[in-house]
Amino acid sequence: MAKLNMRRVSMVTLLSAVGCGGASVGTGNEVTETTDASPPTAPTPTVSVRGVAHAADGSTLPGVQVCLDNGIVVVSPPTNPGDCTVSASDGSFGMSAVSHNKALTLTFQKDGFEPTVRPIELRVEGDVTLPSSENVLFANPLVFMGTPADPNKGQIAFAVSTTGDGPTPQVSATAVGYFAPNGVAGVPESAVYADEHGTPAPGVSVGTSGGFVNVASGLYLIQFHPTSGYCASTSGLYSYAATVESNGDVALLVPVIRGYVTTPVDIWCTSDGP
């Protein structure tokens, strides 16, 4: 199985470049003071990330190559992915992650299936067990949201959950390019939504699930707008959170890799206020 060529992107570097106008340039005359009395560096703590790989019909998938990178990754000139393992006969997998690096990326590959990328933001110390129904791979050839998947593009699948007793609020989604290896992130077309049966619903402008179809590789900022109520990012297991000022809206940073489906991307919404 061919290894994925990825580039790790530092969240700190990205946010600094956007918020502060880019990195500063030294004069070349700086002086660095050193000392022999520096305390020893403590070993970096690690946590485990565990889960189960599935096919779209819910059956477990053995033999899936699962790779973890401590950072945000997008397609770039050749480098190798981070630590990798293979799912067991029951589809289960487990690996270690560096706990202080909150941005993680998991990728899933198996012959006969469209690869999947899962962004995660660790927000607390401690081992992580992903919900047993997640980490889905879709069989090839892939038809995504009613459209044949372009092998040179990526797909983004998103969903809306609710913590209340009432119906899940309807949400619209917009995406803008945030970062791309070639410097041109681009803007995806409008999201495609699905009805309650998961069938693509052309022309629908809001919904509780949907996706962006055939998107160029890069890192995208997706902003979710509820028609009423309030939305928020969930536990951090469903993409990298971003800050927005609009009341009730929530935004996520979502990586897209050529030939991959980015999923799950999930937010929760309620008809009540924050």
In a domain, 32, yes or no: no
In a domain, 31, yes or no: no
Per-residue pLDDT of the chain (274 residues; tens, 9 = 90+): 544 434 444 333 333 233 333 333 333 443 344 445 666 776 667 889 999 999 999 999 999 999 988 888 876 433 455 689 999 999 999 998 887 778 899 999 999 999 999 999 988 778 999 999 999 999 999 999 999 999 999 999 999 998 767 788 899 999 999 887 777 667 888 999 999 888 999 889 999 999 999 999 999 999 999 988 888 887 889 999 887 656 668 899 999 999 999 999 999 988 776 5
What is the distance between the alpha carbons of residues 241 and 70, in angstroms, rounded to a whole number?
16
In a domain, 107, yes or no: yes
The residue segments making up the domain with residue 158 are: 6-20+46-270
Total domains present in the chain: 1
In a domain, 53, yes or no: yes
CATH number at residue 178: 2.60.40.1120
In a domain, 234, yes or no: yes
In a domain, 90, yes or no: yes
Give CA 145 to chain center in angstroms.
Answer: 19
In a domain, 1, yes or no: no
Give the predicted TM-score (pTM) of the model. Answer: 0.82
In a domain, 207, yes or no: yes
